[in-house]
Chain A
Amino acid sequence: MSWETVIGLEVHAQLSTNTKLFSSASTKFGSEPNTQVDLVDLGLPGVLPVVNKDAFKKAIRFGLAIEADINQESTFDRKNYFYPDLPKGYQITQMTKPIVEGGSIDIDVDGDKKTINITRAHLEEDAGKSIHDAYPDKSVIDLNRAGTPLLEIVSEPEISSAKEAVSYMKALHQLVTFLDVCDGDMSQGSLRCDANVSIRKVGDAELGTRTEIKNINSFRFIEKAINFEIKRQIKVLESGEKVTQETRLYDSGRDETRPMRSKEFANDYRYFPDPDLLPVVISDDEMEEIRSTFPELPADKSRRYISEFQIDESEAEIISSSRELSNFFEVAVESKNDPKLAANLIVGEIGSLLNKDNIKIDESKLSSDNFNILLQRISDGTISKKIAKTILAEIWETGRNADEIINDQGLVQIQDESLLEEVITKVIESNTKQVEDYKNGKDKLFGFFVGQVMKETQGKANPKAVNDLLKKALNS
């Protein structure tokens, strides 16, 4: 029997606003518990929610990016359920008239392109945080997160493997970070996903019974959780039983999913329009303002880098794929540095340092100013590109000024011809065998002599001068 998998994802993107969706309390992550709480977040009687302009701006920006319909008039509903970290007893969300409807996202799985349609993206508020292990017989609640704006992005059930789900999530991650809609920090829960997974026989028109895996917060876990669930459902079906529609949790420690809520009572959220909130209308002027401040997306950036700065396609793609890297690159270029050199160092040396520490460029000790100095010193011939790598490594550790490092460690490039000739003579005299071989036609040995000169000068010799002088000396 062959089976096919049908997956739909619901992704919650925490919007990178300063304040909450309906109150002016801060949304900053990691603050002391219960210090970023407003009367509205507590759900005290007599207070009224007021919508955050920027939350709408960001939601609309996302909608425009996926070419969706924007509902310039949207409304809020109450989703009713009881849980201690939800003080009001209901979550404010957009059930009937969401801000964003339709649109699509392109994904790429090992070179195969596919378009995933988006059902809707709506604004809603996050709940607080419950902590269950602080006391033996009590749970405790931190309401700092309560009311934080979320954009819930719902895909059509068009994803057909765990790998596709990961690609979709990565495409979404890139998009929301570029749009400055969400910081994309999955470890802090800024972007998390619920996966609806079902299995059916190949060729069946109807969908199988689905299960929902809640709150998966890393690319790796998305793949593992979905793959586990696919295997589990196939096993259930092949043994002649039925899949139960339920909510499951992924346990990364055991690499398995298991049922989460008892289904004694089916969830019944009794949605109804929130009488505290009037319809939110976005004027044509506001739409125009959002359109006019729309950021450049990766594919456009990449094309522009290639045509404007003549940098390699592969380098352009790597730099433009990350918001932080492209900002860093653009600052360097705006400061009149050589774009090719900047791109080369960012993708090469800096890229491998970033990978090694698994951080983003703005989390490193390398500032744009310091990078500018480094680029200028290479361009004006003070240091070689090779020495630049040594300096970068030092900046990476200490964050020290590049000029300081160059002066303190005497890394200024040797351009002085007489000094270089001295070194070259020494190298030639102590490698007579190689000189003979070279003169008998072993051209490849030229690189060996360059290497020896560099070794003698601790890499400080100007490579072009070394080349010229060596050629002269060896061919004489």
Chain B
Amino acid sequence: MDNKTVETISYLARLKLDKDKKEKITKDLENIIDFVAELQDLNTEDIVPLSNPLEKVAPKREDSVTSKNRKEAFLSNSPESDQDYFMVPKVVE
């Protein structure tokens, strides 16, 4: 786990880390990776990857509209909005 990797993943997660934190997190991440690295020693050749630990399957829903319009409540809970929309800092590519 080097500095550059930590910078990349903190950017991807939109986390701003100062120098001290970055060093601490690098160490923590190294420990975590070492801990789970033990699994690499196991032979998993004939084992199907587990997508979910529960031995259940997803319930399915009928395709009918039951959700109500709660626009005003939702908009009023957002940091910024106008009458119709959520407002965010300008994002143009």
Contacts and interface: CB of A to CB of B under 8 A. Distances in A.
B74 A42 contact: yes
B15 to A, nearest CB: 11
B93 interface: yes
B74 A37 contact: yes
Interface in B67-93: 67, 69-71, 74-75, 80, 82, 84-93
Given A75-B51, A141-B86, A270 B12 contact: yes
A345 B82 CA distance: 52
B21 to A, nearest CB: 20
Nearest to B82: A140
B37 interface: no
Contacts of B90: 132, 135, 137-139
A96 interface: yes
B60 A24 contact: no
* Chain B contact surface mostly: loop
B59 to A, nearest CB: 6
B74 A141 contact: no
Given A143-B86, A278-B56, A132 B92 contact: yes
A137 B90 CA distance: 6
Contact of B91 (A23, A33, A139): A139
Nearest to B84: A33
Nearest to B66: A24
Contacts of A280: 57-58, 60
Contacts of A73: 57
Interface string B12-34: 10100000000000000000000
Nearest to B69: A35
Contacts of B91: 83-84, 130, 132, 139
A275 interface: yes
B51 A279 contact: yes
A217 interface: no
> Interface extent on A, as a size class?
35 or more
Contacts of A24: 61, 64-67
B58 A278 contact: yes
> Interface extent on B, as a size class?
35 or more
B93 A261 contact: yes
B51 A25 contact: no
B85 A131 contact: yes
Contacts of A80: 12
B54 interface: yes
A36 B51 CA distance: 31
A16 B66 CA distance: 17
B87 A135 contact: yes
Contact of A53 (B57, B62, B67, B89): B62
27 contacts: A19-B61, A24-B65, A24-B66, A32-B71, A33-B71, A34-B74, A34-B84, A34-B86, A35-B71, A51-B58, A52-B61, A56-B60, A97-B51, A130-B91, A131-B85, A137-B89, A137-B90, A139-B90, A139-B92, A140-B82, A140-B84, A140-B88, A265-B8, A265-B11, A277-B52, A278-B57, A279-B52
Interface of B: 8, 11-12, 14, 49, 51-52, 54, 56-67, 69-71, 74-75, 80, 82, 84-93
Interface of A: 17-19, 23-26, 32-38, 42, 50-56, 73, 75, 80, 82-84, 96-97, 130-132, 134-135, 137-143, 260-261, 265, 268, 270, 273, 275, 277-281
